[in-house]
Amino acid sequence: MSAYGDTVPIAAQAAQGALALLRTSGQGALELLAGIFSRPRALLEAPGNTVVHGWILSEPVDGAESGAGKIDEVLVSVYRAPRSYTGEDGADISCHGGSAAAAAILESLRQTGFRDALPGEFTFRAFMNGKLDLTRAESVMELVSAKTQGGLERAVRRLSGLLEQEIRQIRERLLEAVSAAELYLDYSEDEIEVSPDEAAGRLPRREEAEEALRRLRALAASYRREQIYREGALAVIAGRPNAGKSSLFNALLNEDRSIVTGTPGTTRDWIEASLSLEDIPLRLADTAGIREMPVPGENLEEAEAMGIERSRELIRGADIILYVADGSAGLTGEDRNFIRRQGEKVIPVWNKTDVREPPDEARRGYPRLVAVSARTGRGMAELCGALAAALKDFPHISAGEELLPAGLGTRRQKDLTEKAADALEEALAMADREEPLDIIAPLLREALHHLGEITGEVSSADILETMFSRFCLGK
C-alpha cells in the first residue's frame, strides 16, 4: 500500500495543453529517470535548476545514447534537494502535449520504478520537509480553483505566508501569557506564603491574551469574506409574487434564464446564475414568491408551497437580499415587514418605475431603496452599483478587513481559530471570576495547541492525509 509519508520516487502528470507536464520527486528520482533518458550522463551531471534536452525512452537503456524506443522529445527541469518544491531531488518533464505522449511517458516512468503520486503528495512532501506550513499548503489548492482576480490575490497572500505570520504573531503573544502564568504557578507552589487568594484572579500578562483574542476573532470573521471571494456571495431576489423578481433576475443577467409570466407563482423552484461584480463573484438566485400569510381559503399547490419553503432556506443563507416590491402596487405591509425583519442584508428594490415612481415617503423611509424598471432597464446600473457597494461594505461581509494582512482560507483554519478563541475567551472569563490560575493555564495551553494545528506545527498523520487527499493529482 502506498501512503503519504515515504520518500520513494513518485510521478504524476501535472498539466496538459499544447505541452504536457509530468512531475517527479523523491530520493533517487534523477538516477531512475536517467535510466529512460536518451542522455543519462547529461541528466545526472546537471546542476539543480537547469534544463536538459533529450528523449524519454520506452525502456531502460544501459548507457546507450542512441536510444531505441523513443517516446517523445522533452525538456527536463532538474531540481536537487533541498532546492526544489518538495525539498527532494526531482525533475519536471515537459513533453509535446497530447494525452498519448504523456500517458506513454508516465507508463515508462512506472516501468522503471516510479510510483504514481497520490493527490497532493508533492505538496505533502513540501510540508513535511519544512518548505511551507499548512496555511500555505492549503493556499496552493486555492490558487488552482480561484475564479476571480480578487480570489487569486487573496490566496496569493496566504501563499506568501501572510496568514502564517499572523498566526505566529498571535501565538507569540499567547506564549508570553502562558509562560508568565506557568512561572507564577511554579513560584506559588514553592512559596507557600502566596495564598490561594493572592493567586486567584491574576492572569499575568493578561493584555497579551486579550490582544491575541481580539486578533483571533478578527481572523475568524475574515473567513466569510474570503469564502465570498472564493465561492461567490449569495444574493437572493425575494419579494411577493408578481413583483418582477424573475424579470429583474433576467435583466441583471441580461439573458433569459427563467420564465417570466404574468401568473403568480411561476418560479416554483429557484434558479441560480453566477456573475462577477467589481471582481467579487456573485451567485444570484431567483426565488419563488414568498407569501407570508396565505390568503384565507386559498389552497396553495404543493409544488408552490415547496418553492416557498426553498425560498425561505435560500433567504436564510443569503449574504444580500434584493427585496423586490411591485411599484405599481406600492409598498405593502408585507413588504415593510419583510424588509424590517431581514435588516441589514436587504437592498429594497422598487420595481416597475415605468408604471409608478416611488413616493418621497418610501425614499425617506428606506434610504437604501433603489428604483428600477426591469422592463425598460432603467436604474439597473444603479442597482449593480448598490450591489457592489453592499458586497464591500455590509458589515457581515467586510468585518475586520482593514485590520488583517490576510484572512482565513479554509474551513479547517476557521474551526481551529474559533476553538482557540473560545478557549482563550473562557480563560479570560475565568480570570474575571477570580478562579485559580492552575485551571486557567491549561485553557491558554489549549488555545496555543489549536494555533499550532493551523500551521501544522502540531499535526496528526490522519488529519494530514485527509487534508492532502483533497488536493488534485500532480500538486
Ligand X SMILES: Nc1nc2c(ncn2[C@@H]2O[C@H](COP(=O)(O)OP(=O)(O)O)[C@@H](O)[C@H]2O)c(=O)[nH]1
Chain residues binding Mg ion by CB under 5 A are 245-246, 267
- Supply the minimum distance, in Å, between the C-beta of residue 92 and ligand X: 53
- For 394-410, where are the alpha helices, taking DSSP H only? 395-398
Q: Which partner from the list Mg ion, ligand X, none does 182 bind, CB cut-off 5 to 8 Å by kind?
A: none
Q: Which of 416, 401, 406 is nearest to 139 (CA)?
A: 406
Query: Cβ 285 to ligand X, closest distance in Å?
Result: 12
Q: Which stretch binds ligand X (CB under 6 A): 71-79, 121-129, 338-346, 352-360?
A: 352-360
Among 93, 252, 260, 408, binds ligand X (CB under 6 A): 260
User: What does 352 bind: ligand X, Mg ion, none (CB cut-off 5 to 8 Å by kind)?
Assistant: ligand X
173/245 with CB nearer ligand X: 245
Q: 3-state DSSP call for residue 238?
A: strand
DSSP code for 418? H
- The nearest distance, CB 245 to ligand X, in angstroms, is 3
Instruction: Tell me the per-residue interface mask from 228 to 247 with ligand X, x by CB under 6 A, - otherwise.
Output: -----------x-xxxxxxx
Q: What's the CA gap between 168 and 136, in Å, rounded?
A: 13
Q: Per-residue x/- mask for ligand X, residues 296 to 335, rule CB under 6 A?
A: ----------------------------------------
Q: What is the C-alpha end-to-end distance of the chain, expressed in Å?
A: 20
Which residue lies nearer to ligand X by CB, 67 or 307? 307
Q: Give the closest residue to 240 by CA, choosing from 343, 324, 148, 175.
A: 324
Amino acid at 410: T
Tell how strand 320-326 and strand 50-57 pair up: unpaired
CA dist., res. 234 & res. 284, Å (int): 6
Rounded CA separation 109/97 (Å)? 17
Tell me the C-alpha distance between 115 and 196, whole Å: 62
Nearest to 247 by CA among 232, 266, 230, 228: 266
Among 24, 135, 373, 455, binds ligand X (CB under 6 A): 373
> Which residues, 106 to 125, sit near ligand X by CB under 6 A?
none
Q: In whole angstroms, how close is the CB of 281 to ligand X at the nearest point?
A: 24
Minimum distance from residue 250 beta carbon to Mg ion (Å): 10
Q: Which of 136, 215, 225, 352 binds ligand X (CB under 6 A)?
A: 352
DSSP state of 343: G
Distance of CA 443 to the CA centre of its chain: 28
Q: How far is the CB of 159 from ligand X (least distance, A)?
A: 43
How near is the Cβ of 242 to ligand X at its closest, in Å?
Answer: 4
CA distance 456 to 135: 8
> Which CB sits closer to ligand X, 203 or 372?
372
Nearer to ligand X, 352 or 450 (CB): 352
**Closest distance of CB 464 from ligand X, Å:** 49
* C-alpha–C-alpha distance, residues 374 and 180, integer Å: 64
Distance CA 137, CA 352 (A): 51
Q: Which does 239 bind (CB under 5 to 8 A by kind): Mg ion, ligand X, none?
A: ligand X
The least CB distance from residue 324 to ligand X, in Å, is: 6
CB of 296 to ligand X, least distance (A): 21
Specify the residue, 354 or 426, whose C-beta has the smaller distance to ligand X.
354
Partner in contact with 297, chosen from ligand X, Mg ion, none, beta carbon below 5 to 8 Å by kind: none
Q: Determine the Cα–Cα distance for residues 195 and 385; give it in Å rounded to an integer.
A: 64
Q: Of the two residues 77 and 267, which places its CB atom closer to Mg ion in the complex?
A: 267
What is the CB neighbour count within 10 angstroms for residue 265? 18
Binder of ligand X out of 375, 392, 445, 449 (CB under 6 A):
375
Q: Compute how many residues bind ligand X; rule: CB under 6 A.
A: 22
Using Cβ positions, the residue closest to Mg ion within the complex turns out to be: 246
Binds ligand X (CB under 6 A): choice among 63, 262, 343, 395: 262
Using the rule CB under 6 A, which residue among 222, 351, 410, 455 binds ligand X?
351
Which one of Mg ion, ligand X, none is in contact with 94 (Cβ closer than 5 to 8 A by kind)? none
Under 8 Å between Cβ of 129 and 86: yes
Q: Cell match 504557578: residue?
A: 185
According to DSSP, the β-strands at 70-79 and 90-96 are: antiparallel
CA distance 228 to 146: 11
Of 142, 169, 170, nearest in space to 155 by CA: 142
Residue 343 CB neighbours (<10 A): 8
Confirm or reject binding of residue 374 to ligand X (CB under 6 A): yes
Q: Which residues bind ligand X (CB under 6 A)?
A: 239, 241-247, 260-262, 264, 266-267, 289, 351-352, 354-355, 373-375
